[in-house]
Structure 1
Amino acid sequence: MTLSVQPHRDAVGLPDGLMFVDGKWRPGQDGASWQHRHPATGEEVGSFAVAGAQDVDDAVRAARRAFDEGPWPRLRAGQRIRVLHACAAALREHADELRALQALDNGVPLSFASVYATSVGVAADVFEHHAGWVDKIGGQTLPPFQGGDHLAMTFREPVGVVAAILPWNAPFLLFAQKVAPALAAGCTVIVKPSEHATFTVLRMVALLLEAGVPEGALQVVTGPGEPTGQALIVHPGVDKVSFTGSRAVGRRVIEASAGTMKRVSLELGGKSPALVFPDADVNLAGMTAMGMVTMGLSGQACVAHTRALVHRDVYDQFLAAAQLLAGMITYGDPFDPAVLASALISEKQRDRVMGYIETGEREGARLVAGGTRPDGDLAAGNFVAPTIFADVRNDMTIAREEIFGPVLAVLPFDDEDEAVRIANDTEYGLGAGVYTTDVRRAFRLARRLRAGTVGINGFQVEPHLPFGGFQQSGLGREGGQSAFESYTELKSVLMPLTEELM
């Protein structure tokens, strides 16, 4: 029997595939469209408009007009707070619909829809969190430094027009992490979803508009990186670009921003290590690390702990636990509650992951699980079996490059210093994990590891914590106060209190 998502598509219904520009749902000016193929079956599940340079220009001009003249940046704090809470409520109310759209977009199974990164609830949490900052962010009043008696003050003002460019793997979370703080700060926002996860974002934009976000303050242009994304990042009317995706595109964003000195926030992936010590719950560590690179997104997550650094004394035990979980992973129809993991997003990504597996074997790593593709009714999808490599050295390709697939590289170490040395020997620095029952070691290593987020005996990303990376994992942070402030500019104001000159 051939796997098909067509019955679910017909039951759920998809948004029209139009973009929202200058107050209207409309196709692209040149009529171009993109056919989206489902990653689990290869079926065409829908199409959406492709925005060209003129469409992007229309969106930017409308966003600029809304920022310069419209109501959103000028609303009182209480009004903006109420709208953001209404946005959160709308997302929660339509959670089942949005989860189904995500399953049709990127294939994340419904069984995983309550897990943080792929949860509608966490998107609502992010909107509520940033609603709380609207009336609390402020500047300072400072004493005069020289001259006559005067006030020296600072204010925070919205940065302006924001281009929010999203990846496909976690559309709920990434949409909220960019749009919520930008709107909370009083910016106007143009969203560009990934071409591989568009229908989810279209529906979220529609829900936010219904919740009270003014039309000019929120717009969405759809299409691939070229031409749509490129037109956005080079447009002189965009004041800030917030991008999550690959390092290669991140570099292009930086280069494009140089001409107009755009503000930039980038989250560009990782090669995160999990350090496992003999006193840890080794079985928990093995299943957690393997779960991060297999369950739900099948390792297509920037912060997945894809390098397991394991003390030699418990190395075999860790491998056994990881292999046990790998054998439990199920694939297939994302609407089936028994399915635990998704297909890879495209044929190109599937072939790329298989290429890394071949490279790992060629470079001498020991393949202990997976490394294959399923056959039968799953053959038409982009599935790759959970894969574990043992005896990996940190100079191997599979230990250094972000694979973005269900591949775990397990490296041995002998002592704490060696573990830290291996962990920090990377171009990335997004996340890390430490598995130990020694509290002093846990905090000692959390300080020594060069990573933006360190989990101790587990890992979680939360709305009120800053999330981002060191080194080539990006610039800036999402989440918490730091994210809110990144959508503002700091202004100094001086006012004399006497006739004396300042």
Structure 2
Amino acid sequence: MTDTTSTETAVRTGLFIGGEPRQTDETLTIVDPAKPGVIVGEAASASKQDVADAIAAADAAFPAWSALSATERATLMAEAIAGIADERDTDAAVLSQENGKIRFEGFIDALVFEIRWNLALMLADEVDTGKTLPVVPGIPVTTEVSYQPLGVVTVIVPFNWPIAILAAALPHALLAGNTAIVKPPPSAPLATTRIVQRVAEKLPPGVLNVVTGRDENMAELIQSPDVAKVCFTGSVNGGKRIMEMAAKTLTRVTLELGGNDAAVFLEDAVIDDVHLDRLFAAIYDSTGQICMNAKRVYVHRSRMDELVAGLEARLNRVVLGYGLDEGTTMGPLHQPAQKAFVEDIIQEAKDAGADVREYGTLPGGDLAGGNFLRPALVVDPDPSLRVVTQEQFGPVIPILPFDTEEEAVAAANDTWSGLCGSVWTADVEAAQRVGSQLVCGYVWVNDHGATRLDLRAPFGGMKQSGIGREQGIEGIRAFQDTRSIATIDPEALAAMAH
């Protein structure tokens, strides 16, 4: 693996299968979303046979790995993660170039991988802990309920926060006793592959594998009878495709999909610099390309102008530019298609007569033609516009007024999604009352966003935002099954006979 801290050095990554690196004749060319035509590096493009080999390697490693106790696996996993920070600056730079995000976010992306990994290891003592159901009147058995790993697990991650998102599932799957194959995003695989390979090299061969390549060669990672589970993070449509493919072999799935998160500001909300900074980050971090970002803001009509003014003050300070350049606060969107989609929904709002306000200056020079978009607010739009009803996944958000708490809750829940939400209020009771009515898997109070996620807590969506949970002991149990062993008690059986 090649180190790089600038665009001057191309990165080349291979596959890692059964404890061995592997190169391929075909490669994926990874381009810089900020600089049209600039190549960041190349990633190996796996053939169907490479994929089959990865599945076979993980399957072969499973018996020995699963036979270890959770504490033994935790010891090996702790050794494998040791020193992961040594190349973090380089990992961050590579991710910034292939993804478009600013360097600081790339650094945090890689840092969260280590944090989540170590938090998972802290649960080792709970992994193998089952329970005993004693003999009770009418049930003449003692039943031991234990947990067992599933087998080979495929973990598929998206482009936006690939390294951090990977660690919401991978260490939990491994600690539970499964072996794994990681599929990084084809448009931004380099930094993720670098990190996974460094960890995999320190684990027993086949326990952790990484395969990059074109989606048309990857089907068996999902529908092979030797794959026990697929953990996918991505779009709703992507999740539907994964579920349809997995159905062919009844492969289990965990799906962490998109969101249309509502932030609800009640009449007594504190709208000061601290809270506005939190809200701004929750909307515009990663140029709006985070599933759990705030996507709709509902604010009491009496506080509307105050909140809009606070966001405007911050938007006026945005510096659009290259992710590795000092002073840049917002990079480009990752894909030209996503830029076109966000431009389209903004134009639709303008055509409908909405109050659309755009900020910042598009960069020129060698960045002209990059996937840059000026961040925007859409103030008091018609709720039927796509900027309200669809996940923007870009630097634009609607601000909508409400008059009653009941109206706000109804509007927040009137959506296809159920990933996250937030309620902003100075009243603790109001926070609990409103928060408990939001139909979503995770609710913040006076805060919102990925940087504020409790990495110990189960995370996942309701409605079309997903199936299953990641993180915490719940995230480990998602990669296990239960086995019940019942032993008949002769005395209790005899008592029943009489």
TM-score, normalization: structure 1? 0.91
Structure 2 residue 52 is the aligned partner of structure 1 residue 57: yes
Which residue number in structure 1 is paired with residue 481 of structure 2? 489
Local SS of the residue matching 2:264? strand
SS in 2 for 1:135: helix
Matched, 1:39 2:28: no
Q: Does 1:232 align with 2:221?
A: yes
Which residue pairs with 1:252 in the alignment?
241
Q: How does 1:215-230 map to 2 (within 5 A)?
A: 215-228=205-218, 230=219
SS in 1 for 2:417: coil
CA-CA distance at 1:282 after TM superposition: 2.0
Q: Deviations over 1:65-87 (max 9, x none)?
A: 1113xx32122333212222234
What's 1:293 paired with? 283
- Give, in angstroms, the shift of residue 499 of structure 1: 9.3
Partner of 1:470: 462
SS state at 1:94 partner? helix
The whole-number CA distance in structure 1 between the counterparts of 2:436 and 2:346 is 33
Tell me the distance in 2 between the aligned counterparts of 1:89 and 1:462: 23
Local SS of the residue matching 2:398:
strand
Are the aligned partners of 1:272 and 1:430 in contact in 2 as well (CA < 8 Å)? yes
Which residue, 86, 103, 123 being the options, matches 2:113? 123
Distance across 2 between alignment mates of 1:148 and 1:249: 46
- Describe the shift of the 1:149–1:280 C-alpha distance in structure 2 as closer, same or farther (beyond 3 A): closer
Deviation at 1:175, TM superposition (A): 1.4
Query: Which stretch shows the higher mean deviation, 92-101 or 194-203?
Result: 92-101
Q: Is the Cα contact below 8 Å between 2:265 and 2:298 reproduced in 1? A: yes
Q: Report if the CA contact (8 A) 1:291-1:325 is conserved.
A: no
The answer to whether the Cα contact below 8 Å between 2:55 and 2:152 also exists between their aligned partners in 1 is yes
Return the match for 2:61 from 66, 70, 78: 66
How far off its partner does 1:416 sit? 0.5
SS at match of 1:95: helix
Select 1:405's aligned residue among 376, 394, 404: 394
CA 1:111–1:337: 2 relative to 1, 3 Å: farther
Distance 1:418 1:379, change over 3 A: same
**How many angstroms apart in 1 are the aligned matches of 2:419 and 2:139?**
48
Q: Is the 8 A contact 1:294 1:326 kept in 2?
A: no
Structure 2 unaligned runs (5+)? none
Q: Which residue of 2 aligns with 1:3?
A: none
Q: Cα–Cα, structure 1 residues 97 and 7, in superposed 2: closer, same or farther, change >3 Å?
A: closer
Is 1:349 matched with 2:338? yes
Structure 2 CA distance for partners of 1:329 and 1:225, relative to 1, 3 Å: farther
CA separation of 1:330/1:224 partners in 2, compared to 1, >3 Å: closer, same or farther? farther
TM-score, normalised by the number of residues in structure 2 = 0.92
On the 8 A contact 1:66/1:188 being kept in 2, the answer is yes
- Residue 320 of structure 2 is matched in structure 1 by 331
Q: Tell me: CA distance 1:372–1:411, structure 2 relative to 1, closer, same or farther (3 Å).
A: farther
Residue of structure 1 equivalent to 2:7: 9
Where structure 1 has 5 or more consecutive residues not aligned to the other structure, the ranges are: 1-5
Q: Is the 8 A contact 1:88 1:125 kept in 2?
A: no
Cα distance in structure 2, aligned partners of 1:226 and 1:286: 44
Counterpart pick for 2:149 among 153, 158, 164: 158
Identity fraction in percent: 33
Mapped to 2, the partners of 1:152 and 1:203 lie a distance apart of: 46
Deviations 1:305-346 (A, max 9, x none): 010101110111111111111111112222223111221111
Aligned residues: 485
Do the aligned partners of residues 66 and 311 (structure 1) sit closer, same or farther apart at CA in structure 2, a change above 3 Å counting? same
Deviation of 1:227 after TM superposition, in Å, equals 3.1
- Partners of 1:293 and 1:446 in 2: CA distance: 19
Read off the aligned partner of 1:78 and give its amino acid letter: T
Deviation per CA, 1:345-396, whole angstroms, max 9, x where unpaired? 1112111211121122223321022498554443131111111101123221
| SS of structure 2 residue aligned to 1:60 | helix
- Indicate how the Cα distance of structure 1 residues 278 and 181 shifts in structure 2: closer, same or farther if over 3 A, else same: same
Query: Take 1:179 and 1:145, find their aligned partners in 2: how far apart are those partners?
Result: 40
**1:442-496 Cα deviation digits (max 9, x unpaired):** 1111101111111111122122111111111000111111101000011111234
Task: Pick from 157, 177, 196 the counterpart of residue 186 of structure 1.
Answer: 177
- After superposition, what is the alpha-carbon deviation per residue over 1:78-128, rounded to whole angstroms, capped at 9, x for unaligned? 3212222234433233322221221122122123345xxx43222111111
